[in-house]
Amino acid sequence: MASADLIKKLENTIENIPDFPIPGIQFKDISPIFLDPKLYEEVIADLAAASKGKVDAVCGIESRGYLFGIAIAVALEVPFILIRKKGKLPPPIISEKYDLEYGSAEIETREGQIKKGQRILIHDDLLATGGTTEAAAKLIEKQGATVAQFSFLIGLKSLNGDEKLKKFGAEVYHILEY
């Protein structure tokens, strides 16, 4: 559980942009966090503490999952693995297809970077519908590893992303909820 002080600082820093990128969406802009290196350090310390001793590697989801994910992995002294959108990683790769509201998408990791039996932290900046995170979890299980934890800066309660992740039996941690 993050400190009330950190939650307050983040609430005052993250900008809410209504109707972006399409009408009806409340876009949470995390970019002001990077203007404040002390606050960034506090975020990493909190996310790393939440996962300490629980995970053997961190997987970050492209692209905002890299902004904090790599620093979490460095703080925990464990490997970081990139989960990328289709077509960005050189072969050999392992991929997972998933449905979007319109059409489908695919995510990939490089084969061999995730090891069998590893306990994995899946990290992204924000949990919305959980569609991308669910696909990431399937991609990890497909490689004989287990999802030990999910972490996010922000969880959007109204979209029930947590529900989609329940079946993986892993803790879902977020600093802030809207």
Task: Kindly compute the dihedral angle of the four CA atoms of residues 3, 161, 66, 176, in this order, to the nearest 10 degrees.
Answer: -20
d(CA 13, CA 9): 6
CA-CA distance, 101 to 140, in Å (whole number)? 23
In the chain, what is the straight-line distance between the N-terminal and C-terminal CA atoms, in Å? 15
- Supply the minimum distance, in Å, between the C-beta of residue 70 and ligand AMP: 15
CB 140 to ligand AMP: min, Å: 16
84 is catalytic: no
- Least separation, in Å, of the C-beta of 114 and ligand AMP? 20
Which stretches of the chain bind ligand AMP, using CB under 6 A? 25-28, 61, 64, 124-133, 161
> Catalytic pick from 62, 64, 110, 141?
64
Q: What is the amino acid identity at position 123?
A: H
Q: How many Å apart are CA 177 and CA 128, to the nearest integer? A: 11
Q: Cβ of residue 153: shortest distance to ligand AMP, in angstroms?
A: 10
User: Is-catalytic flag, 141?
Assistant: no
Collapsing DSSP to helix, strand or coil, 59 comes out as: strand
- Cβ nearer to ligand AMP, comparing 73 with 126: 126
Catalytic residue among 62, 84, 101, 111: 101
CA 32 to chain CA mean position, Å: 18
The residues that are catalytic are 64, 101
